[in-house]
A and B are shown apart, each in its own frame.
Chain A
Amino acid sequence: MNLDILSDILLAIMGGAIRVGTPFLFVSLGECITEKSGRINLGLEGVLVFSAMAGFAGSLWSGLPWVGVLVASLAGAFLGALHGILCSLPRVNDIAVGIGLMLLGTGLAFYFGKPLIQPQAAQLSNISLGFWSDSSKVVQALNINPLFPVGVSLALSLNWAFKNTRWGLNLRMVGDSATAALAIGASVAKERILSTCYGGLIAGIGGASLSLYYPGSWNEGLSSGQGLMAVALVIYARWNPLNCLYAALVFGGAGAIGPALQSVGFSKGYNLFNAIPYALTLLILILTCAPNRTIKGSPSELSVAK
């Protein structure tokens, strides 16, 4: 009997790892690109909320969830470009602008999202990988988010592109030494603006995953710090897209512990379980960071890693 409950919880956590982890994956991949170019965008929290709203609206008005995904990513790219351009002005601090965008993005999302709280938009449909099993719980856990495979292939191709394409090399050069980039005539500002814009675009897909798959509706409490945790997660992943994938799954799993325990009727201390992902992020930061030395693999132009 106890074993049954335990396996139920484990199964729910594993299913939840993909369900909850998908937004983490997209945001951390987006942030990974931005940070590789030597800038940090803390505003991805705002991007996530704003694009979740935009994606929901896009799906509601077109009736097609994938149009919603497109709208969400464009909305994310817009905010990302704003961050990139503002930070290219002299003496403007990227962390501070990130905080500004976090507040502005959520404000705009709540403003435009007011009429979207009631209606139900067309949702992305599951991909069922559990057809081989006759246990309904396994089938349930293996109904995966269609955006998850997109994210996995994105992680794989980014990992390849950083090392093997002209774009990736340029990006890493700008992030590792702006002076070297200037010396060979690359435009540092342009490269960084573009990479922040791409970062927002990809994070926007994560927002669509929130409003169009899980939890699958628009409300003002949709994201509480996921965007920010993803930023911390990139540090843990050592700026490597593949590690971002593993990290996103771990964090998704941690985020699914609360709901999983609740589903088996364990509701006491629900809020305490909600704190687990944040505590885990903090713990990982404490363990991976160290004073007086930069973290291995960090872009040397990055202010957080300095």
Chain B
Amino acid sequence: MKFFWISLFEGVLLPLSSVLAGLLLFGIFAAFGGFDPLKVWTLLFMGAFGDAFSLQNSLQRAAPLILTALCVAIPAQAGLIVIGGEGALAVGGLACATLPYLFTLPGGVIGSFCVLLASVFAGAAWIALVGVLRQYRGVNETISSLLMGYIAINLFKFLVEDVLKDPLSLNKPSTRPLEGSIQIGNILDFDVHWGLVWGIMLCLISFVWLYLSTNGFATRLVGGNSRAAKLVGIPVNRLTIMACALGGGCAGLAGGIQVAAVHTAANASLIEGLGYTGILVSFVARHQPLAILPVAILLGGFAAAGSMLQRHLSMPDASVQVLLGFVLVITLASEAARGRLGLLIQTRAVKP
């Protein structure tokens, strides 16, 4: 029990101090560029969580990040580093926008449900393929998922700009917009769409599945040691591919939600790097579904505050990208400090 508390404490403390170290480093970096670090930090937090407007904006941005982070986290629990969430997101968004071309959809909630389901299946199939290639052909999943991401993005552009293009979308090639009643609206009176609820729900479901079900336990066992899992008769291939499909489904849903709630049609604005930020969120959250929620809101908030830095201090718009890069690299390097804390407390307890 004591070890549980130590590891929980460590699990919270390490990523938190990594984020703080990233912020500190970014402040120093900004100071070298002639910007006042104190102003930079204040703006980052005010822009993210300063008032109701920016808080809602941060939550709005966090919604797809939660889902794309799950696309990294769930396969990671099965031992795979899948970083092609951007591709699954593009495919999901495409499926969502294409479904009305193929069928006449009922309006209202049922219609929204249909387009979102299509995006889930498209994303799931896309990342499941990565799992299949890895299990049956031995292709490294990190490389193949990223390559498939580029293929998906080009395919997306081809279909949106050449095949499915709505003749009415003149300066920005798009598909036909979704019918008004199918689009996803905001939660009650808040300026946040229902995608956030989907994200929170899926995080909870993934947690329950991974930590409280036999199936999820077996999946984590595969992640821990797939050879041992195979020896005790666990269907390693099936579980791995399922984990990929579930993760891909989440990223696909992110694409569907972005189309149905934000852009209303599939176009190039969908490809804005949400999949890549999702990788970051998942790594900082150490691939724990419940930790993804606060991390996504925090990092989504920083991403939202980027425009503040640009407007008030005229810093380059890639500043936030640098900050997030620092945070990720420091988080990864902080793995080296893991386990030291438990050792420290333990030796102290033993001494009289």
Contacts and interface: CB of A to CB of B under 8 A. Distances in A.
B325 A100 contact: yes
A304 B140 contact: yes
B335 A91 contact: yes
Contacts of A91: 335-336, 338-339
Given A95-B81, A107-B321, A86 B154 contact: no
Given A92-B333, A100-B328, A292-B138, A107 B318 contact: yes
B332 A111 contact: no
Given A92-B332, A271-B158, A278-B154, A107 B142 contact: no
A285 B81 contact: no
A239 interface: no
Interface string B106-150: 000000000000000000000000000101111110111011101
Contacts of B146: 225, 228
Contacts of A190: none
Interface in B187-240: none
Contacts of B328: 99-100, 103-104
Nearest to B152: A275
B49 interface: no
B155 interface: yes
B325 to A, nearest CB: 3
Contact of B321 (A86, A97, A103, A232): A103
Contacts of A282: 139, 144, 147-148, 151
A180 interface: no
Contact of A281 (B136, B147, B333): B147
Nearest to A291: B138
A286 B139 contact: yes
Given A96-B283, A231-B143, A278-B150, A110 B321 contact: yes
Q: Give the most central of A101, A110, A275, A286: most B CB within 10 Å.
A: A275
A278 B318 contact: no
A176 to B, nearest CB: 19
B71 to A, nearest CB: 14
Nearest to A288: B139
B322 interface: yes
Given A107-B324, A269-B162, A291-B137, A97 B150 contact: no
Contacts of B142: 42, 95, 99
Interface of B is mostly: helix
Q: Name the interface size band of chain A.
A: 35 or more
Contact of A269 (B136, B158, B322): B158
A86 B319 contact: no
Given A228-B146, A231-B143, A286-B133, A89 B321 contact: no
Given A96-B332, A282-B147, A103 B325 contact: yes
B161 interface: yes
Interface residues of B, number: 45
B332 A97 contact: yes
A272 interface: yes
A114 B279 CA distance: 25
Given A92-B336, A103-B328, A275 B319 contact: no
B162 A86 contact: no
A99 B278 CA distance: 12
A111 B147 contact: no
A274 B162 contact: no
B329 interface: yes
Nearest to A108: B322
Contacts of B150: 224-225, 275, 278
Contact of A93 (B83, B151, B319, B335): B335
A279 interface: yes
B321 A106 contact: yes
Contacts of B283: 96, 99-100
A296 B139 CA distance: 15
Interface in B247-276: 276
B147 A278 contact: yes
Task: Rank and list the top 3 A-B pairs by shortest CB-CB distance, nearest first.
Answer: A104-B325, A110-B318, A107-B321
19 contacts: A86-B333, A90-B336, A92-B332, A93-B332, A93-B335, A96-B81, A96-B332, A100-B332, A105-B325, A107-B321, A108-B322, A114-B316, A269-B162, A275-B154, A278-B154, A279-B151, A285-B139, A285-B143, A304-B140
Given A272-B158, A291-B137, 13 more contacts: A91-B336, A92-B333, A95-B81, A100-B283, A103-B325, A271-B154, A271-B157, A275-B158, A281-B147, A282-B139, A291-B136, A291-B138, A304-B143
Interface of A: 42, 82, 86, 89-93, 95-97, 99-101, 103-108, 110-111, 114, 224-225, 228-229, 231-232, 235, 268-272, 274-275, 278-279, 281-282, 285-286, 289-292, 304
